[in-house]
Structure 1
Amino acid sequence: MSESKITNTINEPEEAGRDHEQQLLATSPESKSSGQKAGWTHLFVAALRVSFLRQPYWEGIPVSPLTILILVAGYLLSAICFQWLLAPGPADFNFRAFGTDWFPFAAWAWLCFCLRHSPENHGAGKSSTAPSASHLFVLSMAQGLLLNIVLYWPLSLTMQLGWLKHNSLGLTMSWVLYLTPLAVTMAIQSVFLWRASGRRTSYIFLILVVMVGSSAMEVVTRPPSFWYPRHVQSGEDESAEKQREISQEVFEGQAALLNKKLADIQPHRPGIIDLYSLSFAPYGEENVFLNETSMVTQVMAKRFDAEGRSLQLANNPGTMDSLPWATPLNLQRAIQHIAKRMDVNEDILFLHMSSHGASDGELSAGMWPLSVKSVTPEDLKRWLDEAGIKYRVISISACYAGNWVAPLSDENSLVMTASDADHTSYGCGSKSDLTFFGRAMYDEQLRDKTLSFEVAHAAARPIIKQREEEAGKSDGYSNPQIAVGEHIRTRLKLLEQRLISAPAATAVK
């Protein structure tokens, strides 16, 4: 019997007769179309069996270049649909994504060949055998596609969109929501591959290395998505397409843009307490941080007379031509330059930072393919001290932001955060326009109700608590923090008195 025949190890004569009958039927033109349909039916029935951890079943599985092409197309189509469902609002299609992320398919094919590279490796358990690596590759691809459609994509959408609806997707939970469906899918596929390899212990390590390695490669390389949010800045054409392409022109333009923005910062006015505003949004994968820092910058400019003395740093695909990148080096340079323009012993520097936060206080940073290091509280304090800026108002809008309070607090500083060191904040998901803290603190209090950061923070706390309870926040009240030094409190009182009596103290329209 030829190697292309699939024989049953339990009842060989019966299966041989069945194979002979199928071979005779396949010679007639009338049976060709029905045979193809039956082949696909056999394929997905077999894929369904192994997805429920049953023994592999190989009979009637079609193996051809067309079969593989259709399965690959199914993977791409399901990925396109899934990413479209997760896209926050209007999105543009990115054709360049078709040319990336092929490593898992290559690793998959290589693994199947390793598991079935010779006839003696065909033993796959008690029920059946498989004739070649091509049958294993086709069946494992069909199983993976089936798991994606009925398990991975629905579970991922349910978990992520369910959390995003409540605006609670912090950094740690983001990884949990991403890895849990992936781990379940990989475990099911690994069991099938191990059984199909004849349950050989030596193959377990190989299967895990390829499965985990290909997934890790995707996480590390961050292949481009098929869909990107359409980013539109004020004054821009709404049809303008914004994609994550960082070319040499962008790099050179960024350097010139930062220099221009720094040069535009106005100098200190003698006899006047000026507030200089600096905002920093280092995480470029979601618009909420750009939205918040833009709003905060506007409030500072209009309500606190910081027009001409404001600088916004942001990582976002839609602002690469209009805003300098939010990198540690750019932040350090901005602090140094502002210190030269202000009176470091009289004026006040306001700094607002908005991003995802980890349990150790680290803020998420980056915008694929740009690699960005995170700023630490120790970095920020050192840069402020080196610049000689005395009076500081520092605002951290992130999960676990309470970790920033102690390192930055002193008698000349006001430090306020969206949460304490043990809780997440809310509103940092891709479906959010503003975080709960940013909306309550700046958009609703400082915008038109008060000029006092302390009063605004105290008023925002119960509002945030109520909204978190209504949203079903599961890990408890975020508990926003504030620490106020006596010297900065006196300085802010003087600024507030000046703004109340000045024409600049008007509500933001």
Structure 2
Amino acid sequence: MSVPLAVSGWLAPVVFWWPEAPADVEAAHAGLALTDEVVAAQPQLLDDALAALQPPHPNRVNVYGLTYAPYAAEDVFMRESAVVARTMRERFGANGRMVELVVNPATTTTLPWATPLNLRKAIAHVATVMDRERDVLFVHLTSHGGADGKLASNTWPLKTEPMTPELLKRWLDEAGVRWRVISVSACYSGSWIAPLAGDGTLVMTAADADHTSYGCGRRSELTFFGRAMYEDALRETWSFTEAHAAARKLIEVREKEAGKSDGYSNPQISEGAGIRDVLQRLHEQQRGAR
């Protein structure tokens, strides 16, 4: 019990346990190796990532970004986090303003874990660095999603709670983040629209509330939404709404070609009137910088 006792103070609300691994989990994934090195590194990784955030440039719309990939058993979510972070840095000037939260055996000593508390801490800290009247916080969440609206967490042998849109909204509200772009890459993610929508928020999802998304298996390089939105569409525009519209078309074609049998995923979007003006300024700013 020495390892879980050592880290329980900084990772709450994570509940630590040492049960026998379920057969399906054990077969699918070896889980996280909680070595002394990993346990010692994790708190410092988050502190270092947050301390490295750069202050905003004055008189500009600055983009700060967080990615959240809490499913360790499939590398597709780790890869998607990296692709999304790279696109935000290269296309939206977020270099020095991105934090990746990822749970994966390959990143346990390089990236802070995607746990609910780490996400809450990251949101709270970013809010103290950014200009909350001018700047935008971009949050991309990628995992399996359930019809109940919960984002799956796979951190065995740690047990972490699934993320929900209600939790995310509460933490953004508590931090005083005014302008928000939220991207949810998961099955049934359209259920996140209503809880998060508002004047200062743009919400984009990989599916509606009744359909699965596609491309989130162990052999997938990227999800269909991640590839269409962040590798394809946002390379052609700085408008999230234009990119989402283009991604919808790409996804529909690709899902048909792949033989998706349960219907079009039908990605959704909701844009508040307030954030629309901010993102238009961002679009013009980035276009003018090229």
Q: Aligned partners of 2:29 and 2:254: how far apart in 1?
A: 31
Aligned counterparts of 2:33 and 2:196: Cα–Cα separation in 1: 36
1:265 alignment counterpart: 53
1:354 aligned to 2:142? yes
* Partner of residue 492, structure 1: 279
Counterpart in the other structure of 1:470: 257
Q: Do structure 1's residue 452 and structure 2's residue 234 form an aligned pair?
A: no
Equivalence for 1:331: 119
2:22 aligned partner, one-letter code: V
Q: Deviations over 1:338-365 (max 9, x none)?
A: 0000011110000000000111111110
1:219 aligned to 2:22? Answer: yes
What residue number does 1:247 align with?
Answer: 35
The code of the aligned residue for 2:252 comes to K
TM-score, structure 2 as length reference: 0.90
- CA deviations 1:238-289 (Å, max 9, x no partner) are xxxxx83112331221001110010000012221110001100011100000
Instruction: Output the CA distance in 1 between the equivalents of 2:253 and 2:67.
Output: 27
SS at match of 1:496: helix
Aligned residue number for residue 179 of structure 2: 391
Alpha-carbon separation, structure 1, partners of 2:164 and 2:138: 17
Unaligned runs of 5+ in 2: 1-18
Aligned pairs (5 A) from 1:36-435: 219=22, 222-223=25-26, 225=27, 244-435=32-223
CA offset at residue 463 of structure 1? 1.2
- 1:426 alignment partner, SS class: coil
Alignment-mate amino acid for residue 286 of structure 2: L
Q: Could you tell me which amino acid in structure 1 is paired with residue 288 of structure 2? A: S
Find the residue that maps to 1:352 and give its secondary structure. Answer: strand
Scaled by the length of structure 1, the TM-score of the pair is: 0.52
Helix, strand or coil at the partner of 1:256: helix
1:398 alignment partner AA = A
SS, match of residue 251 in structure 1: helix
Per-residue deviation, 1:433: 0.5
Secondary structure in 2 matching 1:393: strand
Q: Distance in 2 between matches of 1:382 and 1:456?
A: 27
**C-alpha distance in 1 between matches for 2:75 and 2:183:** 19
Contact 2:29 2:73 in 1 (8 A): no
SS in 1 for 2:114: coil
CA distance in 2, matches of 1:272, 1:465: 36
- Give the letter aligned to residue 256 of structure 2: E
Task: State the distance in 1 between where 2:138 and 2:32 align.
Answer: 30
Q: Which has the higher contact order (CA 8 A, sep 6+)?
A: 2
**Structure 1 counterpart of 2:119, one-letter code:** L
Structure 2 contact 28–73 (Cα < 8 Å) conserved: no
- Structure 2 counterpart SS, 1:425: coil
Root-mean-square deviation over aligned CA pairs: 1.7
Matched, 1:480 2:283: no
After superposition, what is the alpha-carbon deviation per residue over 1:49-85, rounded to whole angstroms, capped at 9, x for unaligned? xxxxxxxxxxxxxxxxxxxxxxxxxxxxxxxxxxxxx
Question: Highest Rg: 1 or 2?
Answer: 1
How far, CA to CA, are the matches of 1:324 and 1:390 in structure 2?
25
Q: Which residue of 2 aligns with 1:104?
A: none
Tell me the secondary structure at the aligned position of residue 290 of structure 1.
Answer: helix
Shift of 1:475: 1.0
Structure-2 separation of matches of 1:425 and 1:221:
22
CA contact (8 A) 2:225 2:251 kept: yes
Residue segments in structure 1 that go unaligned for 5+ positions in a row: 1-215, 229-242
- Say if 1:366 and 1:373, in contact at 8 Å, map to a contact too: no
Name the amino acid aligned to 2:52: D
Q: Give how far 1:226 is off.
A: 9.3
Q: Distance in 2 between matches of 1:308 and 1:369?
A: 32
- Cα 1:227–1:351 shift into 2, 3 Å: closer
Counterparts in 2 of 1:372 and 1:255: CA distance versus 1, 3 Å: same
- Counterpart CA distance in 1 for 2:262 and 2:28 is 33
Look up the match of 2:9. Answer: none
Give the distance between the partners of 1:305 and 1:441, measured in 2 at CA.
Answer: 17
Aligned-pair identity in percent equals 51
- Relative distance call for 1:355 and 1:221 in structure 2 (3 A) is closer
